[in-house]
A and B are shown apart, each in its own frame.
Chain A
């Protein structure tokens, strides 16, 4: 167990972050916090991708093209997951922007960011 924590701590961290993120989405009444929860959830996945590229190649260096040493001798982390994470980050930013824009519109229409108040306001109308 201790060994697992020492060597694979990023995986444990990923599941902790996934849990916190999904809990925020479900439990928080504040719309902005919900969106932060979604972001945390996504970030955990980015962490997962990056750490899986590194762990299998212990001591590997970053996959930057002009590295020193003989080709084939230097251990390099897999660049593919890193490219994936870059793309996923861009997607995540776009989603956050759209989500925040919607929240601004909701706030200007209903004057609240809390979901329970929002429910009451909409029920009253």
Chain B
């Protein structure tokens, strides 16, 4: 294709989803439920375009587009290079995959898909922009869409979670904007490439140091680093099951990508290495988050919360890798950070999708309720086990490759405490992953069935309520109750209204489980084959990308030689 048309792809990738976001509402005036089709067509098209753009970037280097033809000193440039195209592929790929879940699993409203597409557009904007103020605008667009998605969850708790996220997220983005203001004051430009030239030559270095400090605080909040992570677990938990995979896999990932982009392209590694205490601050934030996130994950009862705290620690690893990059100028650690960003995105999408499937079929939300899942849903449990092992970092999965490169970078840079933290984090990740695996595979659901004996058919023994006081009890009852109510109609018609411990209730059904277990076919199975398939695909991709670890490094090589020369 001729090059001028390829130049149009980056703006198209951003504009298309944002324009398409208006369609579900507009078409919703006439037709019901067009949202899913619009979103599916758009995201599939975006994924194809991203794939084509990636092949162009791989073959011929970066693709830039200057918006409106204004010079880049004060105009806006969109840049697709090896680093950004990885994130673009992740965003479009996960956005397409999650739709396979929401087709049956919901939410189904047209406005949900408007926010969905808006989020995708904002995230693609973050990935492709070459202008630090434009980055702020896209950060806010994606954040706004995320607040809307979180608040679309059932129950009033989701509004509280969304408001908490809104206040913290807005202050964080404002912190970033103050940082941009300081840097702009010292240099007079906003373009990333121009800034890279202007920053080392700026007269007033204090301004740039202050700017970097504000930017670090802003992104530490956006990426959910301890102790600024408090918005994240409640937001992930309260968001609708169909939206959490998208949010967990992409929103913080795009922010972490933006932070890495600022470190290597705007401030540049050599400059930051000479800035007093920059490396040690970033390293400390990352390492503390790795440890705190993992410890908090181990003590959680709710699966979604546990996975959310696990995100805190996994993003801690990425930030630690950035610290290693600054401290040691390590290309290896940067490759590790890029791989871990993509890998973690896929793993978390898969894990949250599995959690959503389990919640849809059994209303099971706590770790204890996962007992005996391996028998009831062997495919989902198997995929989840693969994803959990990948998260721990068992070779050959992608989680291992990312951690390996980061640890290797830390060792090369002779940062022994950091290397120790990374290895320790793997152990601790195993602690919470093993807890879930043990429940799924080795604790029989019969154990839960004896709990059912306390009051079969009479008392609502929803395990989620009793075991977790931190959550509003009305909320688990409403969603758990709905699902169980459905099953109750199918399997326990006489026991109407009884809300059992979910998997224990399941035992009394036909042991084959799966679609059509009641045989009456009155209500469709809440779990479609597409929902299971997308989880399996996520698990396969996580392992396949692990084998392709070297390919990742080769793909990033031109970018790395340009940045670290």
Which chain B residues numbered 143 to 187 have a C-beta less than 8 Å away from chain A?
A: 144, 147-148, 151, 156-157, 159-160, 162-163, 166-167, 170-171, 174, 177-178, 181, 184-185
Chain B residues lying within 8 Å of A103, measured Cβ to Cβ, are 163
Inter-chain CA distance A31–B474, complex, in Å, is 23
Within the complex, which residue of A25, A49, A106 is in contact with B159, where a contact is CB–CB below 8 Å? A106
B509: CB under 8 A from chain A? Answer: no
A102 touches B185 (CB 8 A): no
Residue interface mask A98-122, B partner, CB < 8 A = 1? 1100110110011000000010001
Chain B residues lying within 8 Å of A49, measured Cβ to Cβ, are 181, 184
User: Taking A35-B167, A102-B163 as contacts, is the C-beta distance between A45 and B140 under 8 angstroms?
Assistant: no
B31: CB under 8 A from chain A? Answer: no
B178 touches A45 (CB 8 A): yes
B181 touches A48 (CB 8 A): yes
Chain A residues lying within 8 Å of B151, measured Cβ to Cβ, are 102, 105
Within the complex, which residue of B140, B147, B170, B171 is in contact with A102, where a contact is CB–CB below 8 Å? B147
B190: CB under 8 A from chain A? Answer: yes
Of the A-B pairs whose beta carbons lie under 8 Å apart in the complex, a sample of 13, sorted by A's number, is A38-B167, A38-B171, A41-B174, A49-B181, A78-B188, A84-B190, A87-B137, A95-B140, A95-B170, A98-B148, A99-B163, A106-B159, A122-B472
A99 touches B166 (CB 8 A): yes
Report the interface size for chain A: residues with CB under 8 A from the other chain: 33
Chain A residues lying within 8 Å of B137, measured Cβ to Cβ, are 87, 91
Chain A residues lying within 8 Å of B148, measured Cβ to Cβ, are 98
Within the complex, which residue of A52, A80, A88, A106 is in contact with B163, where a contact is CB–CB below 8 Å? A106
> Nearest Cβ in chain B — how far from A34, in angstroms?
6
B144 touches A99 (CB 8 A): no
A12: CB under 8 A from chain B? Answer: no
B551: CB under 8 A from chain A? Answer: no
Inter-chain CA distance A62–B346, complex, in Å, is 50
> Nearest Cβ in chain B — how far from A27, in angstroms?
13
B159 touches A109 (CB 8 A): yes
Which chain A residues numbered 46 to 72 have a C-beta less than 8 Å away from chain B?
A: 48-49, 52
B473: CB under 8 A from chain A? Answer: yes
A45 touches B472 (CB 8 A): no
A125 touches B159 (CB 8 A): no
> Nearest Cβ in chain B — how far from A124, in angstroms?
9
B133: CB under 8 A from chain A? Answer: yes
Interface of B, secondary structure class, is helix
Inter-chain CA distance A85–B188, complex, in Å, is 15
B174 touches A98 (CB 8 A): no
> Nearest Cβ in chain A — how far from B541, in angstroms?
34
> Nearest Cβ in chain A — how far from B114, in angstroms?
13
Chain A residues lying within 8 Å of B472, measured Cβ to Cβ, are 122, 125
Inter-chain CA distance A46–B8, complex, in Å, is 32
**Interface contact tally, CB-CB below 8 A:** 77
B167 touches A25 (CB 8 A): yes
Inter-chain CA distance A91–B170, complex, in Å, is 10
B52: CB under 8 A from chain A? Answer: no
B159 touches A102 (CB 8 A): yes
Q: In the complex, which range does the number of interface residues on chain B fall in?
A: 20 to 34
Chain A residues lying within 8 Å of B473, measured Cβ to Cβ, are 125
A42 touches B156 (CB 8 A): no
Inter-chain CA distance A106–B164, complex, in Å, is 12
B564: CB under 8 A from chain A? Answer: no
Inter-chain CA distance A78–B184, complex, in Å, is 12
B74: CB under 8 A from chain A? Answer: yes
A95 touches B177 (CB 8 A): no
Inter-chain CA distance A10–B317, complex, in Å, is 40
Chain B residues lying within 8 Å of A80, measured Cβ to Cβ, are 74, 190
A98 touches B166 (CB 8 A): yes
Interface residues of A (CB under 8 A from B): 18, 22, 25, 31, 34-35, 38, 41-42, 45, 48-49, 52, 78, 80-81, 84, 87-88, 91, 94-95, 98-99, 102-103, 105-106, 109-110, 118, 122, 125
Within the complex, which residue of A31, A35, A110 is in contact with B156, where a contact is CB–CB below 8 Å? A110
Chain A residues lying within 8 Å of B136, measured Cβ to Cβ, are 88, 91
> Nearest Cβ in chain A — how far from B370, in angstroms?
25
> Nearest Cβ in chain B — how far from A59, in angstroms?
19
B167 touches A52 (CB 8 A): no
Residue interface mask B490-521, A partner, CB < 8 A = 1? 00000000000000000000000000000000
> Nearest Cβ in chain A — how far from B210, in angstroms?
12
B170 touches A42 (CB 8 A): yes
Chain A residues lying within 8 Å of B181, measured Cβ to Cβ, are 45, 48-49, 52
Inter-chain CA distance A106–B151, complex, in Å, is 10
A45 touches B177 (CB 8 A): yes
User: Taking A42-B170, A45-B174 as contacts, is the C-beta distance between A98 and B147 under 8 angstroms?
Assistant: yes
Inter-chain CA distance A98–B150, complex, in Å, is 12
Inter-chain CA distance A34–B473, complex, in Å, is 27
Interface centre among B170, B185, B188 (most CB of A within 10 A): B170
User: Taking A105-B156, A106-B159 as contacts, is the C-beta distance between A52 and B171 under 8 angstroms?
Assistant: no
Chain B residues lying within 8 Å of A98, measured Cβ to Cβ, are 144, 147-148, 166
Inter-chain CA distance A124–B387, complex, in Å, is 37
Chain A residues lying within 8 Å of B167, measured Cβ to Cβ, are 25, 34-35, 38, 99
Q: Which 7 A-B pairs have the closest CB atoms?
A: A109-B156, A105-B159, A102-B163, A91-B140, A125-B472, A102-B159, A52-B185
Inter-chain CA distance A78–B181, complex, in Å, is 14
B144 touches A106 (CB 8 A): no
Inter-chain CA distance A98–B188, complex, in Å, is 33
User: Taking A45-B178, A52-B185, A122-B157 as contacts, is the C-beta distance between A22 and B163 under 8 angstroms?
Assistant: no
Within the complex, which residue of B74, B160, B162, B190 is in contact with A118, where a contact is CB–CB below 8 Å? B160
Inter-chain CA distance A52–B163, complex, in Å, is 32
> Nearest Cβ in chain B — how far from A99, in angstroms?
5
Chain B residues lying within 8 Å of A38, measured Cβ to Cβ, are 167, 170-171, 174
A106 touches B74 (CB 8 A): no
Which chain B residues numbered 28 to 48 have a C-beta less than 8 Å away from chain A?
A: none
